[in-house]
Amino acid sequence: MKKNTILIVIGKDAPMDDLAKKLETLRTVSAHVVILIVGEMPAFPYYAVGIDTFGTTDVPGDWSGEVASHKAVLDDKAKDVRTLLQQHDVSGEVSTVACEPALMADAVARRAMLCDMAIISDDLRDPDTLFRQAVHGVLFQSPVGVVLNDPTAEAMTAPKRVFVAWNTQLHSARALHQALPMLRQADEVVIAMVDPVMSEFRDGEDPGVDVAKWLTHHGCNVVVATYPSGGKDIGTCILDRAKEAGADLIVMGAYGHSRTRETIFGGTTKTLISQTDQVVFLAH
């Protein structure tokens, strides 16, 4: 039996009701679920370490207690999640990881390597340190894409109208290829281009038509649309046009510019990751 493997990354405070909705949806498509419960390790108090000549490291006892307590909370959450998997009759596995935020991307990426898609839970957004690291781990260190803002997983498994934010860059093509299983299920796929440059060496003389032709070979019902930005930033324009089109899923290639540039100056990817109103599938 063929099954897609879906990675779901949640925190220790993730609402069980939201996870139950995702599992019920994924059960209907016979997906195998890999649930990773992540937590931030309490910071080691380096300032409290005193090492004399030829001495040993002095580890404060309260720090060790905090670490043990934190791991116990994650383990208790894992037990609850395993029970939930059994209740919903979903094939799956559960694991936990607690580490410094800088190491979280590696931990998430290792699980995503052998999955077909990843979902990052919204409960990790506050604070967003682990959320950003989890998203970056999937995008930059794994071969799969990530779904955000889909509390029931319905838009991921059975979208009605998909809004593809398209340009002719490599990251956009990768996102389109990885989203193809979802596009095939959609009633309509909108290939959207904002301020396209209609030249042979940019977006083509008839932007989006070549992509639409390729998707029709896969049985997709495709509409091509071009939009002026009207002075708005591209990310806001994509969100506004997708909402007007009634799309329940936005597909976009992430980070056409470097992470450093997007962090300092902002950018389209940062805009779509930061918002919480519309479901987004991103791939790099």
Q: Are strands 249-253 and 222-227 parallel, antiparallel or unpaired?
A: unpaired
Burial classification of residue 84, based on how many CB atoms lie within 10 Å of its CB (0-12 exposed, 13-18 middle, 19 or more buried): middle
Per-residue pLDDT, 264 = 47
Per-residue pLDDT, 2 = 77
CA angle 116, 122, 126 (to 5 degrees): 135
| Per-residue model confidence as pLDDT tens digits over 208-251 | 999 999 999 999 999 999 999 988 899 999 999 999 999 999 99
Per-residue pLDDT, 103 = 93
d(Cα 181, Cα 4) in Å, to the nearest integer?
A: 11
Contact between 44 and 156 (Cβ < 8 Å): no
Q: Three-state SS for 8? A: strand
Q: What is the pTM of this model?
A: 0.91
| Per-residue model confidence as pLDDT tens digits over 130-189 | 999 999 999 999 999 999 999 999 998 989 999 999 998 999 999 999 999 999 999 999
| Per-residue model confidence as pLDDT tens digits over 68-123 | 899 999 999 999 999 999 999 999 999 999 998 889 999 999 999 999 999 999 99
